[in-house]
Amino acid sequence: MGQVMAQGLGACPQFSLVALVDLHEPAELFGARYVAALDGLDPASVDAVVDFSNPEGVVSSARWCAAHGVALVVGATGLTDEQRQAVEEAGAKVGVVMASNFAIGAVLSERFAAIAAPYFERAEIIELHHDRKVDAPSGTSIAAARAIAAARAKAGQAPLEDPSTRQTLPGARGADGADGVRIHSVRLPGLVAHQEILFGGPGEGLTIRHDSFDRESFVQGVALALAAVDATPRFLDGIDSLL
Amino acid sequence: MGQVMAQGLGACPQFSLVALVDLHEPAELFGARYVAALDGLDPASVDAVVDFSNPEGVVSSARWCAAHGVALVVGATGLTDEQRQAVEEAGAKVGVVMASNFAIGAVLSERFAAIAAPYFERAEIIELHHDRKVDAPSGTSIAAARAIAAARAKAGQAPLEDPSTRQTLPGARGADGADGVRIHSVRLPGLVAHQEILFGGPGEGLTIRHDSFDRESFVQGVALALAAVDATPRFLDGIDSLL
Amino acid sequence: MGQVMAQGLGACPQFSLVALVDLHEPAELFGARYVAALDGLDPASVDAVVDFSNPEGVVSSARWCAAHGVALVVGATGLTDEQRQAVEEAGAKVGVVMASNFAIGAVLSERFAAIAAPYFERAEIIELHHDRKVDAPSGTSIAAARAIAAARAKAGQAPLEDPSTRQTLPGARGADGADGVRIHSVRLPGLVAHQEILFGGPGEGLTIRHDSFDRESFVQGVALALAAVDATPRFLDGIDSLL
Amino acid sequence: MGQVMAQGLGACPQFSLVALVDLHEPAELFGARYVAALDGLDPASVDAVVDFSNPEGVVSSARWCAAHGVALVVGATGLTDEQRQAVEEAGAKVGVVMASNFAIGAVLSERFAAIAAPYFERAEIIELHHDRKVDAPSGTSIAAARAIAAARAKAGQAPLEDPSTRQTLPGARGADGADGVRIHSVRLPGLVAHQEILFGGPGEGLTIRHDSFDRESFVQGVALALAAVDATPRFLDGIDSLL
């Protein structure tokens, strides 16, 4: 993922790639320096750090950025509450954007789902991933289910009750993602990462489908986040407000 | 359904509509007679009976047809084993076709799924119906899962084992339709009856989708069945062999 | 369509069905009176008229409503500029809502397309209808293409140029709906009315699909329009601003 | 493509990778030798050649294989009639399989389309590719349209006449792929290679969708072809008969 980001952001005229930070020197440096850790960098030479490593790495980057007044963009999943808090605290010192999904299409999908939710009787989500994905349902689908449930609640609507369907085989109706918004997780080799949010009402259906074919889909969202942060303290959870 | 069949079959030049049989006289007779029961008919005036009533009605039609040498086409779901046997026994006296789904597209879907099954690593089924459907998964999807499992077994392949996916919400991975072929049942107002059979292998996917928008989709399959039966004893389960 | 509206709106507790207006008395009156023309009605007995007739009928209703201070909701396609103007003029006297599509899902589709347009490199539209539809592309798809083109222009983006694709068969790349947004019109028996708006960018795709399975999908949109109009002069083109 | 094949076939226990043939030495040899041309190989050391180069390269491989009794599998598009003939002639000396598409899902799609064609009133094809594809429609979609037309003709059905649709924008109804089977070509960044074959009849639709996400989808088809050829003269056009 670091390589994809370095290549993609390096190709944006508004950014200059200063250094790649990794335990091992990557095969391709895209014209930038290599350092084994952030400490090997002069903070004055960097405006922002983009971190797609792992929870521990992210916390460590957050501390370095906060200490040196360098902005931070974090692509993070799987953080504990404590780790999340460490990143949020950095936002009291510098600009920080943290998001679990930087694909514009995924962010818009969730926004559209929240707008549509109050106008339809029911909603369900189908998410389809390659069969090596370790968990089900996907974090993105649970976030979408919660966004739908929140939009319905805000419009004064009751949680969805399941239609009086008799399940002759257990699990057929999927998982309860949030307040009755059902999630169905398909796992097949060949697939990449896909999601359909389906709404139904009298005589009609509305489906919002997002397909991630390649990780380069994250570059545009990270670029938006980078453009939005500087040394001014700020913490942004997700990039929806930047679209 | 009787009205849809009477109108559809009545419009086929190869058939003549003799009588509509119903407890109550229907609004529209499409130029045919009305009788309250088969006993009100002269068996010599009919070559075949089409029955889309209910299990009890179907058994009663089967007995009348067997007794009088009249062929029978039955659209039946929900029969007990005993009721099924009564219909099969009629096939020892006259030509009988019984099927749970007469839509050509549904029949071809299952056939294609059986052909494709041995060439892909995994298969899953998504079936989507209106939210008034009483059960989940649909009978058609279970039949498709069994056809896939049977085709894999015939090709010497092992039952599908689920990928080592951790279910963080129960039910996310759907129901086990047959030998690990997962079925996901979506229920939304607005929908009619839809099914997707998804196959996945290295770098590719194959999807067979059937949409039933209207019950007139059954007319063509019933016409094929009618053309295939006469007084010669014969029992046919499903119309796949007629395509 | 009049029957669908009468039944659907008649079932809404916030409305009372006063009369059905038609050249011929409909089979079902849903508890309302029948009149052959608006002139047969006492204007004091009606708050609003819903008109799904034809361009001439719509103009005539607009004049009657304007003359008597009765609000008007018009489902109209195929009006000439002159006819449109006659309806707009009624809006200077009473509340008038005119829309070509009252399905909530269709209205939201166009809104979402306009929001998404600036974030993706390219967009194309596939619209799929039954094969008795008289024209191609659909009016709804052209409106969506224009909304995408307008959103791109507003964001300072250039019209889409077609990729340097060599067309070996003419027509393969569809029609130019607006500023390079391509429209593909599929016509098949069995289909009802469906539309997919597809966006593509680096490594990802976003698809907004709307399915109209039944004309009852228009009832909710008409109800929203009815709730928004009264005798206060107002002209609203489309129901997007009511959502 | 050569790298994908070398890796994929090299991982199949039934094959041994002898050599990679390329003008320039590839970065990764997967344990095999590198030669700049087939002439650098001892024919006795190879049972079969897999060629995914270009028309000129393919003709040259065909001659070398024919001269030395080595089987040949060719993934070829864009050959002139003369070049095709040179490959076919090699099939008079050794076993040769030539195909434009080795993805199992693509081959099955076309087969299923031919089976379904006579049972539906109309068929159309939507093919969706990345926007760097040089031509439209795709060769695979034209082949599918021809297969549908041939199946209809064989069943005694007339060519499809277009419904009496008025095209208000030219190209909306797509290209005529074969005997009225319409093809619609979508081109969007992010997409890989996708195709939907849509059939429609009274009240129902059947859709066969194939998604190619990665070129590794060709490995299984090439493996089938390799298993089917040896020094025995034989020419096979396409791998459909091997499934």
Enter the tokens of residue B75: 């659209």
Which residues on C lie below 8 Å from A105 (Cβ)?
116, 120, 199, 201, 204-206
pLDDT confidence band for A77 (50 / 70 / 90): confident
**D176 pLDDT higher than 80:** yes
CB of B202 within 8 Å of any CB in chain D?
A: yes
CA distance C42 to chain D (A): 42
Q: What is the CATH number of the domain that holds C159?
A: 3.30.360.10
List of chain C residues whose C-beta atoms are within 8 Å of the C-beta of residue B104 = none
Mean pLDDT, to the nearest integer, of D73-79?
87
Quick one: average pLDDT of C141-154? 97
C199 touches chain A (CB under 8 A): yes
Q: Do D185 and C177 touch (CB under 8 A)?
A: no
Q: Chain C contact for B217, CB < 8 A?
A: yes
Interchain CB contact of A221 with D (< 8 Å): no
Ramachandran class of C203: left when φ > 0, alpha when ψ lies in -120 to 50, beta otherwise = left
pLDDT at D163 > cutoff 90: no
Containing structural domain, residue D157:
104-212
The reply to whether B214 touches chain C by the CB within 8 Å rule is yes
Identify all chain B residues contacting A187, using CB atoms and an 8 Å cutoff.
122, 124, 162-163, 165, 173
Strand (E) or helix (H) holding C166: strand C166-167
C202/D190 touch (CB, cutoff 8 Å), yes or no: yes
- Catalytically annotated residues of D: 129, 133
Sequence-distant (6+) residues with CB within 8 A of C29 are C6, C20
Confidence band for B76, pLDDT divided at 50, 70 and 90: confident
Active site residues of A: 129, 133
Band the pLDDT of B32: cuts 50, 70, 90: very high
- The alpha-carbon gap from B69 to the nearest alpha carbon of chain A, in Å, equals 38
Q: How many structural domains compose chain D?
A: 2
Question: pLDDT tens digit string along A17-55?
Answer: 999 999 899 889 999 999 999 999 999 999 999 999 999
Q: Kindly state the percentage of chain D with pLDDT values over 70.
A: 100
pLDDT at res. B164: 72
**How many CA atoms lie less than 13 Å away from C85 in the CB half-sphere?**
3
A194/B contact by beta carbon, under 8 A? no
In tens, the pLDDT along D191-225 reads: 999 999 999 999 999 999 999 999 899 999 999 99
Lowest mean pLDDT among B4-13, B178-187, C123-132, C200-209: B4-13
- Dump pLDDT digits (tens) for B146-156: 999 999 999 99
The whole-chain average pLDDT of chain C stands at: 94
Size of interface A-D (CB pairs under 8 A): 13
Are residue D25 and residue D57 in the same domain, yes or no?
A: yes
Over residues A133-153, mean pLDDT: 95
Share above pLDDT 90 across residues of chain C, in percent, rounded to a whole number: 89
Sorting pLDDT into bands at 50, 70 and 90, what band is B162?
Answer: confident
- Hey, is the C-beta of D97 within 8 angstroms of any chain B C-beta? no
The pair of structure tokens assigned to A187 is 């796992």
For residues C32 and C82, membership in a common domain is answered with yes
Nearest CA in chain A to D193: A213
Residue-level pLDDT at B78: 82
Q: Look at residue B173 and tell me whether its pLDDT is greater than 90.
A: yes
User: Chain D residues with CB inside 8 Å of A192's CB?
Assistant: 213
| CATH label of the domain that carries residue B63 | 3.40.50.720
Rounded to a whole number of angstroms, the CA Rg of chain C reads 20
- Residues of chain C with Cβ-Cβ distance to D200 below 8 Å are 131, 188-191
Determine contact: C214 vs chain B, CB below 8 A. yes
Concatenated DSSP letters for C53-116? Answer: S-HHHHHHHHHHHHHHT-EEEEE--S--HHHHHHHHHHTTTSEEEEES---HHHHHHHHHHHHH
Q: Which residue carries 């200059």 as its tokens? A: A16
- In a shared domain, residues D86 and D132: no
Chain D positions in Cβ-Cβ contact with residue A189 (cut-off 8 Å): none
Please report the number of interchain residue pairs, chain B to chain C, with beta-carbon separation below 8 angstroms.
13
pLDDT at D229: 95
Q: Which of helix, strand or coil describes residue D231?
A: coil
pTM of the model: 0.93
C190-222 per-residue burial string, b: 16 or more CB within 10 A, e: under 16: bbbbbbbbbbbbbbbbbbbbbbbbbbbbbbbbb
Over residues C153-162, mean pLDDT: 93
Q: In this structure, are C123 and C181 located in the same domain? A: yes
On the question of pLDDT at C59 being above 90, the answer is yes
Whether A184 and A203 share a structural domain: yes
Whether the per-residue pLDDT at C164 is higher than 80: the answer is no
D137 vs C contacts (CB less than 8 Å): 168-169, 172
Q: Would the pLDDT of C211 be above 90?
A: yes
A171 interface with D at CB cutoff 8 Å? no
- Catalytic one of C93, C129, C184, C210: C129
For the ranges C48-62, C151-165, C220-234, the lowest mean pLDDT is seen at C151-165
If asked whether residues D133 and D163 sit together in one domain, one would say yes
Mean pLDDT, residues B19-36 taken together? 92
Contact assignment for D173 to C185 by CB distance below 8 Å: yes
Q: Is B188 on the interface with A (CB under 8 A)?
A: yes
Contact: D216, B202; criterion CB under 8 Å: yes
Query: Could you tell me if B74 and B164 lie in one domain?
Result: no
Determine phi and psi for A67, rounding to 5 degrees.
-70, -30
Give A30 or B164, the one with higher predicted confidence. Answer: A30
Q: Do B192 and C211 touch (CB under 8 A)?
A: no
Catalytic status, residue C24: no
CA torsion B162-B166-B171-B176 (nearest 10°) is 10
Percent of chain A with pLDDT over 90: 89
CA dihedral (D7, D10, D11, D15) positive or negative: positive
**Which residue is closest to A131 within chain B, CA to CA?**
B163
* B222 or C1, higher pLDDT: B222
Query: Computed from CA positions of residues D161, D163, D164, D169, in that sequence, does the dihedral angle turn out positive or negative?
Result: negative
| Burial group, residue D187, by CB count within 10 angstroms (0-12, 13-18, 19+) | buried
Of C137, C82, C156, C148, the C-alpha closest to C115 is C148
pLDDT in tens, A200-236: 999 999 999 999 999 899 999 999 999 999 999 999 9
How far apart are the C-alpha atoms of D98 and D232, rounded to whole Å?
15
> Are the Cβ atoms of A202 and C215 closer than 8 angstroms?
no
Please indicate, yes or no, whether residues A231 and A204 belong to a single structural domain of this protein. Answer: no
Both B108 and B95 in one domain: the answer is no
The predicted pLDDT at position A204 comes to 97
Task: Give the model's pLDDT for residue C147.
Answer: 97
Best interface-test mutation with D: which of C126, C129, C131, C132 has the largest number of D CBs within 10 A?
Answer: C131
Q: Which pLDDT value is given to residue D78? A: 82
Q: Do C191 and B214 touch (CB under 8 A)?
A: no
**What is the per-residue pLDDT for D98?**
95
- Interchain CB contact of D144 with C (< 8 Å): no
User: Is pLDDT at D134 greater than 90 in this prediction?
Assistant: no
| pLDDT at position B98 | 95
Q: Which residues of D touch B203 (CB under 8 A)?
A: 103, 212-219
> Known catalytic residues of B?
129, 133
The per-residue pLDDT for range A151-204, each reduced to its tens digit, is 999 999 999 988 877 899 999 999 999 999 999 999 999 999 999 999 999 999
> How confident is the model at residue D77, as a pLDDT?
79
Whether the CA torsion D63, D66, D68, D73 is positive or negative: it is positive
Average pLDDT of every residue of chain D:
95
In this predicted structure, what is the pLDDT of residue B152?
97
Residue % of chain B over a pLDDT of 90: 89
Question: Is D90 in CB contact (< 8 Å) with chain B?
Answer: no
Which residues in chain B are closer than 8 Å to A132, comparing Cβ atoms? 163
pLDDT at residue A206, rounded to an integer: 98
Strand partners, A210: A195, C206
Same domain, D17 and D88: yes
- Distance between CA atoms of residues C236 and B38, nearest Å: 59
Peptide bond into D189 cis (omega under 30): no
Same domain, D94 and D115: no
Chain D adjacent subunits, 3+ CB pairs under 8 A: A, B, C
Regarding whether B63 and B48 lie in a shared domain, the answer is yes
Q: What is the mean pLDDT of residues B99-109?
A: 95
